[in-house]
Structure 1
């Protein structure tokens, strides 16, 4: 957040078209310290957009003042320097945001019980201020110094909260995922653990949304130059990206080899850590990829184990070991993974425990051969260790890494993705039914 920023470099002209050539994959290296304190920028020349109506959305108008305010907010939030080349892109993005917000506000108004309080808006402002290392008062003062009225930011936040609650309430049941979907996704994660993986940030410029593919390429090139000059990737992604990851600052997480379009895969293979790609043209739009990290497939065999044991000292006699073995073998036919711990707890002299999930290589050497080869549900013969004699049950097995997401994490990710998709469809339908006129 910059406390001094260009008040309004608002040229209403488009930058020159750039030829579609084959640039090198990397556009340059970014400073990964995206949360560095922002430095004040010098004041830049001001350019005016005339007052008056610039568009109507059903029965609501968007004025030149509204557009200037939104452009200023977009410039501050993305930290993109307004120039003669990119100001048309900023203006187009700001106008599109205003159109969508007007449609959202009109839809929210249809639900009288959906009221967003001032306290909710204040809480959101406080969170934004904390992210910028400011107090709420300092944050609002910085916006005011840049020419943004408090009403502008408060109404934008109020509409965003209302839309989020409307989409969540309307589509929550449709966004739910089944156990089969979660388990299938987990299996995909497990299979992917053997492949190369890329931790990336992404920005997606949708051609249809910005007026065509050439405009998308041109806009992507301008954003790349701004980021190389210091605009934070996360801030630019939040304001300009059409990908669902925009709400997370473009954080796409770990992407698996072969799960993206071939042009994106080629770029990921050739980018070094810390590098930002040139525009990557795919069907329908243009990607910008920031390579945060890479790793080769390093899948491990993970097993979940339960055990029943008889404690024995390392110097126990052969007769003691044999007696323990006979006792364990006598109960072995009746044991399952579900009953092992309870059975041990019910009989004196036996200890039972759930050993949890671990990599086979991290187990005691005596357990590794059985854990590596056994089928799920299989109970071992007695295994001798310095602690005693053990029966071990393999209660689960998967291929993966210790960083594999849990069932709940996958379920939550899928639900968020479904909600985002349903929200985009909702907005698409509202736009198709609306009467939108540009003046």
Structure 2
């Protein structure tokens, strides 16, 4: 679920010095949209647009006001549908729950709830606007969790495949990126989003913080984190973004980039070389050593080994042989000699024999698994995949609601 608007409210204190026209009673007159039987007033739209601009820390201009009102209207239409659908399933959010969320936001802003309300009022935003937004977000999250939470299953195969893909990309150049994404489908929408992206870029060039703009205007799940998508390898980006990321230097922000699904602005926060080969693989190794005179017997053992379950029994067949547990180690941290010996050895198999003075030895790769520094754990990957699936299902559900609703806009 998308919490970007509620998350952005925590950043309001830093941006409340922005100048936004105060709504007057006359603004309440007029209908901006009718969603089924629910009315969205022009006052509602102006209030939400003010909240968007103040939270993003941008200076209000006629162009940005127009962009913010268009975004506000879309958000309010979606929230109206979400509230209506939640009510149909008797999902309600009481005032105390909203109060607690507001108190948390005020605390994050290092102020009291009364102080926070006053700050909003000074910026021309009624607390009622934020309360309605929180109510819709909480109701929608509860509804989607109830509908899909127990049905979403992430298999261990999915986790392993994702882990392996991350590991494969980890050896390639890495970018620490933030993004702003504006979705589009038709040519008219692409043109609108490209113009809107340019207006946002101009505001950031004048000092508006990228994270605050992303929280309010980006339509990507990363918006809740200020557009932060963390460290990512080039192959994980949309093809249109890969050459852009390759050219961007630390601290630079791209021009708007059109992709198949919409328009992106990306910011290069940092970049680094890929990890050394083997840095994302942990190997469990054991070694069998025997007198050189027993080389033939050790060669027979080497050919028979299939896993580490019966190594003790195999060692007992070679006179004078010993078994040593080498532990679990990132392959990149092994000595060059050992790394070369096991590089092409499959899990459960043994390396060729090496003669070392009056001794011979083999190294057995008991297991290999993806891991190591900077790699997400299996639990983290599973949680990420589950959240992606829930978000996809929620987005699809909302699209169906839009398609089936009667929506009349008057702006």
Class of the TM-score when normalised by the shorter of the 2 chains: 0.7 to 0.9
C-alpha distance after superposition, 1:132-183 (max 9, x if no partner): 3444443333223323333321221121011112112212245322222222
Within 5 A, what are the aligned runs for 1:46-85? 49=27, 51-85=29-63
Is 2:305–2:348's contact at 8 Å kept on the other side of the alignment? Answer: no
> SS of the counterpart of 2:348?
coil
Q: CA 1:337–1:149 in structure 2 vs 1: closer, same or farther (change >3 Å)?
A: farther
Does the 8 A contact of 1:198 with 1:294 survive in 2?
Answer: yes
Task: Structure 2 unaligned segments of length 5 or more: list them.
Answer: 1-10, 316-321
Pairwise CA distance, 1:281:
1.7
Contact 1:367/1:383, CA 8 A, preserved across alignment? no
d(CA) in 2 for partners of 1:42, 1:195 = 42
Task: Check whether the contact 1:53–1:64 (CA below 8 A) recurs between aligned residues.
Answer: yes
User: Which residue matches 1:412?
Assistant: 383
2:123 to 130, 134, 146: 146
Distance 2:195 2:229 in 1: 23
The aligned counterpart of 1:207 is 184
Q: RMSD in angstroms over aligned alpha carbons? A: 3.8
Q: How many angstroms does 1:211 deviate by? A: 5.6
Whole-angstrom CA distance in 2 between matches of 1:256 and 1:193: 7
Whether the 8 Å contact between 1:298 and 1:401 is mirrored in structure 2 is: no
Bigger mean CA offset, 217-226 vs 248-257: 248-257
Q: TM-score, normalised by structure 2?
A: 0.79
Structure 1, unaligned stretches of length 5 or more?
Answer: 1-34, 311-320, 345-349
Q: Does 2:72 align with 1:94?
A: yes
Give the structure 2 partner of residue 431 of structure 1: 402
The one of 283, 297, 301 aligned to 1:304: 283
> Deviations 1:19-48 (Å, cap 9, x if unpaired)?
xxxxxxxxxxxxxxxx89836636465577
* TM-score normalised according to structure 1 size: 0.75
Contact map agreement 1:193 1:400 (CA 8 A) in 2? no
Q: In the TM superposition, what is the alpha-carbon distance from 1:207 to its structure 2 partner?
A: 2.7
Q: Deviations over 1:285-339 (max 9, x none)?
A: 21101111122333421332154899xxxxxxxxxx96xx99xx89997894457
Residue 345 of structure 2: aligned partner? 374
Q: For the Cα contact (< 8 Å) 1:216–1:286, is it kept in 2? A: yes
Number of residues of Structure 1 aligned to a counterpart in Structure 2: 385
Report the 3-state secondary structure (helix = DSSP H, G, I; strand = E; otherwise coil) of the residue aligned with 2:14: coil
Q: Distance in 2 between matches of 1:219 and 1:144?
A: 27
Other-structure match for 1:356? 328
C-alpha separation in 2, matches of 1:394 and 1:65: 68
Contact 1:300 1:401 in 2 (8 A): no
Whole-angstrom distance in 2 between the partners of 1:371 and 1:235: 49
CA distance in 2, matches of 1:426, 1:434: 12
Question: Does 248-257 or 102-111 show the bigger shift?
Answer: 248-257
Q: Name the structure 2 match of 1:221.
A: 198
Going by fraction, where is helix more abundant, 1 or 2? 2
Distance 1:399 1:111 in 2: 43
Deviation at residue 258 of structure 1 after TM alignment: 3.2
Using the TM superposition, give the Cα deviation of residue 229 of structure 1 relative to its aligned residue in structure 2, in angstroms: 1.7
* Partner-residue secondary structure (3-state), 1:109: helix
Q: Distance in 1 between matches of 2:12 and 2:176?
A: 21
